[in-house]
Amino acid sequence: FNNGIGIEVLEENNYYPFGLKHEGYNILTGNPAYKYQYNGKELQEETGMYDYGARFYMPDIGRWGTVDPLAEIYRRWSPYTYGVDNPIKFFDPDGRGVLTDYYNLKGKLTKHVEDGKTDKKIVLTTSNKEADTDAAISNGHVVNQIANDQIKQIDDIYTFGKTDKTGTEKGFLFGQNGKSSKTVTGEKAGEVGSKEWADAKKDLREKGDKTASDAHLHPLHYDSEGNVTSYGSPSPSNGPGKDTDPKNMIGNTQPSMVLGWTENQGSLPPGQIGGTPPPNTYSPTVGFYNTGGSIITMDYSTFKKAMEKVNK
């Protein structure tokens, strides 16, 4: 705005697809001090190149000045090519790539998709085969990259679950843009109620994100003497008002997570005859599900290592 009355145009630029500026008909010469031009990147006057972070771009020839740092996994195209030679469809945000990378639950890269993004996605399969990755994508069995701070939230919930004897559930929401809500605690034993989830949604909105899915604990249950009587399954609960009820997943864009347990039977040491075996133990086990039911379950420590591998 100019003096709070009218709108003042600072600069008008028209570009060819690869970034070279049109000449001869721009009405406004613009502010010469304004350097953030093509794709919002800073123009370096000394070289005529744009600073994209990882590399410098030369709009006069539509090429990068140096080799793609991801050339090893990006072999289909010249390491100097901008936007895989299609700048109308693809935008390279930092000079490294325009691909979505899909990783399996072992943390192994199984598929590249040229879609103009630089996302990492997790396909809910342990298979290394691209056909199984394609099937998972087709079935919607895909979640956003689970960041290290979200793994820390899960760690904290499991730490609570190992010692809590009240059957209390905890959970949080994954955001569509990579953020997560604060962890909320159910007021009633055995559930995180609508009030608590509303509080989590509010927190996520205040962070500028929308709900993609949730992660919540299925707790261990104890008797009055402190013995485990039952354990929370890593599979979703079914029925009206339960995990798989479509009403509970309205607005979700990806499968949700159950933070459950697997029972490990106590056994005598090899060679020992007679005696009382040690008590059973319970190891954290995560499960993914949607309205159709359980998709896959796996040992949490294995899952955690895979996500940390993806996040490197």
Compute CA 274 distance to the chain's CA centroid, rounded to the nearest angstrom.
Answer: 50
Q: Give the chain's mean pLDDT.
A: 86
Backbone angles phi, psi at 310, to 5 degrees: -65, -35
**Residue for token pair 């949730």:** 214
**How is residue 144 annotated by DSSP?**
E
pLDDT, residue 21, reads 78
pLDDT, residue 1, reads 42
**Residue for token pair 């992660």:** 215
pLDDT, residue 28, reads 55
Q: Which residues of the chain have pLDDT under 70?
A: 1-12, 23-34, 70-76, 84, 88-91, 93-94, 96-99, 114-118
The pairing of beta strand 109-114 with beta strand 120-123: unpaired
Q: How far is CA 66 from CA 58, 81, 211, 260, 312, in A?
A: 10, 10, 39, 49, 24
Amino acid sitting at position 31: N
**Exposed / middle / buried, residue 117 (Cβ in 10 Å: 0-12, 13-18, 19+):** middle
Nearest to 162 by CA among 242, 257, 236, 226: 226
Q: What is the pLDDT of residues 24-44, one digit of tens each?
A: 665 555 556 667 777 778 888
User: What pTM was computed for the model?
Assistant: 0.68
Q: What is the pLDDT of residues 253-263, one digit of tens each?
A: 999 999 999 99
Nearest to 93 by CA among 50, 131, 126, 124: 50
pLDDT, residue 129, reads 94
Amino acid sitting at position 62: G
Q: How many CB atoms lie within 10 A of CB 57?
A: 25
Rounded distance between C-alpha atoms, residue 106 and residue 312, angstroms: 14
